[in-house]
Structure 1
Amino acid sequence: MESSDLDDLCFHVNSKISLIKKTLQLRNIGQDPSLTCVLNKVAHEMNSLHDLLNKLETEVQKQESISRSLKELQATFANNFAEASHMKENIPPHLPKKAPSSNEAKCEPPDVGQAPARAEPPKRPTKEKAIKEMELITVQEFANVPAYMKNRLTYEQINGVIEEVNKAVVGKYKIFHQPMKSLNNAAKKQLCRFKEEETKETKGLFFVVDQDIKEFTQVKVDKRFHGMLSILRHCHRIREIRSKGLVRYIIC
């Protein structure tokens, strides 16, 4: 047997003997009344340390959960910021117009510093009839239009057609609402046509026909134009009433 193996064996045996001695000493300590108090204190401290470690583990898990939530919130904020920046840099030239409120125009209070020399009776305001116009479509509405309808048409082109149709509506009904005496011969002929195109179904509604588009706008009334009108029907901006060979585009 080599000397190194013998040394290792001796070390192993001595370690076992030392461990047995320590075990016997601890056993004797447990039976010594004078050390019972010390052992109880050690046991109490061990229990306290165990409770403290449990609380520390719970707190670490809580902080890890908060850290994960903060990382998710940071990622969400970064995405929202990127989307907002993209929207800011790509604001479309056409946005829906807000319909004017009937109470928008308010009378200004009289100037108390200057008293009028003579009170005049208030003039009766002339009440103009409101003409209904189409609202521009939103980006989301255009995105929901089927691809076969859009073909190669763009969002800006559709809103451009809406503005042109609105011009025709306003031009037509301004003539419609004027007294006959104030109209020239051309406008009188237009008014006669407008009234001939009215039906029971269009009573109280605002509508235009292809001829109105031709007379009040520069839009070319062709297949492409009618394709745009199909998108406006899909977006519930207009609807059609057909009778006597004439298509009437009702403003929704």
Structure 2
Amino acid sequence: MSSVTEVETFQDLDAHLRNKTDVLQVCVTLRGGWGADTVEEMEQQAKELKTMKQSIAGYRSSLASAHEDLITAYALLKEMQQLSLRLKHLKEYLPQHMPQAALQHKSHPKKSPSEEKENKDQGPAITVQPKQTPRPAGRKAPKQISKVEFITMKEFESVPKYIRGRLQYAQVNAAVVEINKTLETKYSLLSRPRAKLSELNMKIVGECQRQENKETKGLHFVVDGDIKRWSSLKMDTAGKSLLTVLRMLKRLREVRGPGNLVRYAVLT
């Protein structure tokens, strides 16, 4: 068995080699010179030392590679920890309602200069008009109901602290949902034929129509009574503050009068 495989530590290997050298030295002294077997033993020991040096070089290379891998793994661990913290923050503060981005007009995509030149060479394009279903006589096209757009965090933070007070970002967008629900319910009711309205709804429609004037022409609006009737938004101090924030961010504007009547019109 070689010296490399007999020992487990460098201290043991050093002691083992020193012991063998001492034994060989004693043999040389007793024999009065170097015998063949002693030379063979020394050559064997030299081979073991060479093998050990090669093994140590391999171990050092492996240790250096492992050290680099350890540094890389530590850097990845730090990145993963930071990413985990960011994801945790996003999970805790992700708003329930995201502001709607401006939609690109898909029906007329922008063409490249080469496509425009090719179309020009081919002459005027032939436009095929879609077939339209005729609308029954006497029926008006339904008007799209205006909606309040959600606000962004940047917009919310731009509102002075003395105005928003203790309001949270999510509360403002939750109020937007309730106002839009009120608008949808109100104007869906106003668009229904009178013959299909109950007596109670007839009174509500009449009340809503009396609230309209020249200033509200072309606008969609709600009043305190509409919000109380068709939404869960309470018109207390906090509710009034929410409407104030939406007015400041140009989502709503007030149309007052006569008397104490206040209309909250949607700005589009």
- What range is the shorter-chain TM-score in? 0.5 to 0.7
Alpha-carbon shift at residue 197 of structure 1 (Å): 0.4
Offset of residue 128 of structure 1: 3.0
Give the 3-state SS of the residue equivalent to 1:201 in structure 2.
Answer: helix
Partner of 2:98: 95
Q: Does 1:132 align with 2:146?
A: yes
State, as a whole percentage, how many aligned pairs show the same letter. Answer: 35
Residue of structure 1 equivalent to 2:67: none
Report deviation, 1:183: 1.4
Q: Which residue of structure 2 lines up, in the alignment, with residue 157 of structure 1? A: 171
CA offset at residue 102 of structure 1?
9.4
The DSSP-based 3-state class of the residue aligned with 2:262 is strand
Q: Describe the SS at the equivalent of 1:195.
A: helix
Q: Distance in 2 between matches of 1:192 and 1:223?
A: 29
Alignment CA distance shift 1:199-1:99 (3 Å): farther
CA distance in structure 2 between the aligned counterparts of 1:194 and 1:181, rounded to whole angstroms:
17
TM superposition shift of 1:173: 0.5
TM-score (norm 1): 0.55
**Unaligned stretches of 5+ in structure 1?**
1-77, 105-120
Per-residue deviation, 1:122: 8.0
Query: CA, structure 1 residues 200+122, in 2 after alignment: closer, same or farther (shift >3 Å)?
Result: closer
Pair 87,158 (structure 1): closer, same or farther in 2 beyond 3 Å = same
The TM-score normalised by the length of structure 2 is 0.52
Structure 1 Cα separation of the partners of residues 104 and 216 of structure 2: 25
Q: Which amino acid aligns with 2:230?
A: F
Amino acid at match of 1:170: E
Number of matched pairs = 157
Name the SS of the counterpart of 1:130 in structure 2. Answer: coil
Q: Which is worse superposed, 166-175 or 123-132?
A: 123-132
Whether 2:192 is the aligned partner of 1:171: answer no
Question: How has the CA–CA distance of structure 1 residues 217 and 102 changed in structure 2, closer, same or farther, with 3 Å as cutoff?
Answer: farther
Q: Pick one of 193, 197, 206 that aligns with 1:183.
A: 197
Tell which deviates more after alignment, 159-168 or 91-100: 91-100
Map 1:28-39 onto structure 2 (within 5 A). none
Paired with 1:186 and 1:173, the residues of 2 have a C-alpha distance of 16
Aligned equivalents of 1:195, 1:144: Cα separation in 2: 36
Match of 1:216 in 2: 230
Q: Once superposed, what is the RMSD of the aligned Cα atoms?
A: 2.9
CA separation of 1:103 and 1:177: change in aligned 2, threshold 3 A: farther
1:194 corresponds to 2:193: no
Deviations 1:147-182 (A, max 9, x none): 011111100001101110111111110011111112
Q: Supply the AA of the counterpart residue of 1:93.
A: Q
Return the alpha-carbon distance in structure 1 between the equivalents of residues 217 and 158 of structure 2.
32
The reply on whether 1:247 has 2:250 as its aligned counterpart is no
**Shift, 1:186, TM fit:** 1.5
In the alignment, residue 225 of structure 2 is paired with which amino acid? Answer: Q
